[in-house]
């Protein structure tokens, strides 16, 4: 028989995915979120410096992120993603100003690497085969041990892609996580890695429609409701202590704990979790993008890695960006703007800007950190875990977070 109420702790993408799947199955769901808004690391907010709503960070989805696509379809938001009609990634090398477009073909047989106009300039077909070595790398191997991390194809293709996917300097990152991404994208063909962004913002696309879906099915979403303590009774969680109020759980009630790893560890001190993180820095500039500037462009030989185009704004992503955390904001904004202006051919001085530094953007995708990721099941019969840091087999991404939420919901549905 089904648990009478399922409490989901944390309204990030993982918690919302779990809640949506549980509500879809007819469960009574209550979501408790500590922050004043839902979304966690994947949200929009009004930025006073820029005078517009922006996302906490530019988030890229890929067309082959099947769990994310199904989630969006279920909550009626699949039309909120936009991207090029076919898979292509424009790049510029800021040292030489060489520009190229990576244009993989749609199908599984990757014939695009045989076409010099579709691949990275100055590379040979055989250079591309290095990446396959990742697929056979033994468990807990760093990428740097599994494949060469130098040369044109590495610097101009594998490094930017792996760094974006893993948010960790590729040579030290886990080869198995990289292989999982490659299996689901490159090995499937260009149709699986068409780049997609939330055109109207992350909250409007992923978060608000999920909340509406939940509320339409009678679920409750309680914001600023911070769980302080889990009260356990033998093999069950018996109470949820929110400081000012406590919820006693009925015998068939259950809990999905979908908080970040450091908070999961605080609530469950015996849990093993990843405990090293990598930062992501985003810089936003209130400037009208030049006509015909691509929706996103990769930048090589620069501090900046990707520029995204939005109405009235150019926006930069720098992954694995811990080295930039202590740099004074003004100097960093100025430095980043000079590169953006160079790429976009803009003569203007520094426009209105914002820099968002997410220190703990993702867990560090190192072999030893990956090994610390727990599964969804816990020592308590009515408590399951979700979050991008749980053992999804993927790096910390929206896709991984949604799969973890789905898995948590499926476990509870099976036990009901």
Ligand X SMILES: Cc1cc2nc3c(=O)[nH]c(=O)nc-3n(C[C@H](O)[C@H](O)[C@H](O)COP(=O)(O)OP(=O)(O)OC[C@H]3O[C@@H](n4cnc5c(N)ncnc54)[C@H](O)[C@@H]3O)c2cc1C
Residues near ligand X, by CB under 6 A = 9-15, 32-35, 40-42, 56-57, 59-60, 226-227, 258-260, 263, 280, 282, 358, 361-362, 387-388, 396-399, 401
Beta-bridge partner residues of 300:
93
* Residues whose CB is less than 8 angstroms from the CB of residue 362 and which lie 6 or more positions away in sequence, other chains included: 167, 277, 278, 280, 388, 389, 395, 396
HSE-up of residue 93 (Cα within 13 Å, Cβ side): 13
Phi and psi angles of residue 61, each rounded to the nearest 5 degrees, phi first? -110, 160
The tokens for 169 are 């300097």
From the CB of 182, what's the least distance to ligand X, in Å?
A: 16
From the CB of 351, what's the least distance to ligand X, in Å?
A: 21
Which one, 40 or 142, has the nearer CB to ligand X?
Answer: 40
From the CB of 220, what's the least distance to ligand X, in Å?
A: 14
Which one, 33 or 127, has the nearer CB to ligand X?
Answer: 33
Counting Cβ atoms within 10 Å, is residue 8 exposed (0-12), middle (13-18) or buried (19+)? buried
From the CB of 179, what's the least distance to ligand X, in Å?
A: 17
Which one, 44 or 105, has the nearer CB to ligand X?
Answer: 44
Which one, 141 or 392, has the nearer CB to ligand X?
Answer: 392
From the CB of 375, what's the least distance to ligand X, in Å?
A: 15
Which one, 147 or 398, has the nearer CB to ligand X?
Answer: 398
* Residues whose CB is less than 8 angstroms from the CB of residue 411 and which lie 6 or more positions away in sequence, other chains included: 376, 377, 384
From the CB of 7, what's the least distance to ligand X, in Å?
A: 10
Sign, CA torsion 359/376/405/173? positive
Question: Rounded to 5, what percent of the chain is helix, strand, coil?
Answer: 35, 25, 45
Which one, 120 or 181, has the nearer CB to ligand X?
Answer: 181
**CB atoms closer than 10 angstroms to residue 342:** 15
Asked if 72 and 206 count as a contact pair (C-beta separation under 8 A), the reply is: yes
How distant, in Å, are the alpha carbons of 125, 134, 348 from that of 112?
10, 20, 38
From the CB of 269, what's the least distance to ligand X, in Å?
A: 14
Distance CA 309, CA 171 (A): 30
From the CB of 196, what's the least distance to ligand X, in Å?
A: 10
* Residues whose CB is less than 8 angstroms from the CB of residue 155 and which lie 6 or more positions away in sequence, other chains included: 300
Which one, 119 or 373, has the nearer CB to ligand X?
Answer: 373
Which one, 257 or 346, has the nearer CB to ligand X?
Answer: 257
From the CB of 124, what's the least distance to ligand X, in Å?
A: 30
The tokens for 99 are 């520009």
Which one, 118 or 278, has the nearer CB to ligand X?
Answer: 278
- DSSP per-residue string spanning 331-373: HHHHHHHHHHHHHHT------SEEEEEEEEEEE---HHHHTT-
Asked if 362 and 278 count as a contact pair (C-beta separation under 8 A), the reply is: yes
């Amino acid at each position: 028989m089904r648990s009478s109420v399922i409490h989901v702790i944390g309204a990030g993408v993982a918690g919302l995915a779990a809640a949506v799947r549980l509500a879809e199955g007819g469960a009574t769901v209550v979501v408790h979120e500590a922050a004043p808004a839902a979304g966690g690391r994947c949200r929009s907010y009004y930025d006073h410096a820029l005078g517009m709503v922006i996302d906490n960070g530019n988030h890229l989805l890929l067309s082959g992120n099947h769990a994310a696509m199904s989630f969006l379809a279920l909550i009626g938001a699949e039309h909120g993603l936009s991207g090029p009609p076919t898979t292509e990634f424009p790049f510029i090398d800021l040292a030489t100003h060489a520009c190229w477009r990576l244009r993989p073909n749609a199908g599984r047989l990757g014939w695009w690497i045989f076409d010099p106009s579709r691949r990275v300039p100055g590379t040979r077909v055989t250079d591309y085969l290095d990446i396959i070595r990742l697929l056979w790398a033994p468990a807990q191997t760093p990428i740097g041990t599994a494949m060469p991390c130098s040369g044109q194809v590495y610097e101009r293709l594998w490094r930017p892609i792996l760094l974006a996917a893993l948010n960790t300097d590729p040579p030290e990152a886990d080869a198995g996580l990289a292989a999982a991404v490659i299996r689901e994208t490159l090995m499937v063909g260009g149709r699986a890695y068409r780049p997609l962004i939330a055109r109207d913002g992350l909250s409007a696309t992923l978060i608000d429609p999920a909340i509406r879906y939940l509320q339409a099915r009678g679920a409750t979403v309680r914001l600023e409701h911070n769980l302080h303590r889990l009260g356990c009774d033998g093999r069950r969680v018996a109470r949820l202590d929110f400081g000012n109020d406590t919820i006693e759980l009925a015998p068939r009630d259950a809990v999905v704990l979908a908080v970040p790893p450091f908070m999961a560890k605080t609530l469950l001190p015996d849990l093993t979790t990843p405990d090293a993180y990598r930062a992501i820095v985003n810089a936003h500039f209130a400037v009208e993008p030049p006509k015909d500037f691509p929706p996103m462009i990769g930048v090589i030989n620069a501090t900046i890695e990707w520029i995204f185009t939005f109405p009235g704004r150019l926006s930069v992503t720098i992954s694995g960006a811990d080295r930039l955390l202590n740099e004074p904001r003004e100097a960093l904004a100025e430095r980043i703007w000079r590169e953006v202006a160079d790429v976009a051919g803009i003569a203007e001085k520094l426009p209105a800007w914002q820099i968002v530094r997410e220190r703990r953007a993702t867990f560090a995708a190192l072999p030893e950190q990956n090994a610390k990721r727990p599964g969804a099941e816990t020592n308590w019969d009515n408590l399951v875990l979700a979050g991008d840091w749980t053992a999804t087999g993927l790096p910390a991404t929206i896709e991984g977070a949604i799969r973890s939420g789905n898995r948590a919901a499926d476990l509870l549905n099976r036990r009901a």
